Amino acid sequence: MRNDNFWGRYVLLFIAQLVLSNYFVFSPWVMATLLPAMVLCIPLSIGPIGAMAIAFASGLGVDFLAEGVIGLNALAIVPVAFAREKIISAVFGMDLLLRKNAFTFRRNGFVSVALATSIALIIFLIIFVWAEAAGTRSFWFIIGKISASYVISMVFCLLAVRAVAPSNLR
C-alpha cells in the first residue's frame, strides 16, 4: 500500500471524526469516535514515537475543532498509539510487525481485526471517560458511558479500519 493513499484516507477519516463530534452528539451517555481505529492503522513502518506524535496531533486537532475540552482526546489517544505495536503483536503475531505488513480483513480475518480494534477502543474509552468525569460522575455513570460508547464506536471503528486498511493484497 502506498503511504500517500493511506494519508489521504487518514485525513478523510479525521474530517469524518470532526463531523461525528460536531453533529452527532447522541447524549451525555454516548460518544462516537474513530480515533482508535485511525491510530491502530498507522503504517507499521512508523515507530511508536512517530505514532504517538501523529495520535497527539490528531487528538489535539479533534479537541480544537470539535470537542471543546482541549487535550482530552489527545490524552486518551496517545496511550493507544503507545500500545499499538503490542496490540498488533498480541492479536496478529510478531510476524506482522517484523515484516511491517498492514493487517487486513481479508488476510487476518474479521474476528482478529475486531479484537484488535476492540482493545484499542477500550483503552481509549476508559481513559477518555475517566478524564472527562474528573471525579464528578458516579462509577455507574462512567461504566454506562463506556459501555454505550463502546457499542456505537465499535461499529464506526470497524468501518474506519475497513476504509483505511489496505484491501488489495499483492
Domain boundaries, the chain: 3-162
- What local confidence, expressed as pLDDT, does residue 170 receive? 40
Q: Which string of DSSP letters, residue by residue, matches the chain?
A: --HHHHHHHHHHHHHHHHHHHHH---BTTB----HHHHHHTS-TTS-HHHHHHHHHHHHHHHIIIIISSTTHHHHHHHHHHHHHHHHHHHHH-HHHHHHTPPP-HHHH-HHHHHHHHHHHHHHHHHHHHHHHHTTSS-HHHHHHHHHHHHHHHHHHHHHHHHHHS-----
Q: What CATH number labels 3-162?
A: 1.10.1760
Of 26-30, 32-36, 121-125, 131-135, give the lowest mean pLDDT range.
26-30
- What local confidence, expressed as pLDDT, does residue 16 receive? 93
List, for residues 138-170, the tens digit of each pLDDT value.
888 899 999 999 999 999 999 999 888 765 434
- What local confidence, expressed as pLDDT, does residue 168 receive? 44
37-52 average pLDDT score: 92
Query: Whole-prediction pTM value?
Result: 0.89
List, for residues 72-123, the tens digit of each pLDDT value.
999 999 999 999 999 999 998 888 888 877 787 888 889 999 999 999 999 9
- What local confidence, expressed as pLDDT, does residue 44 receive? 87
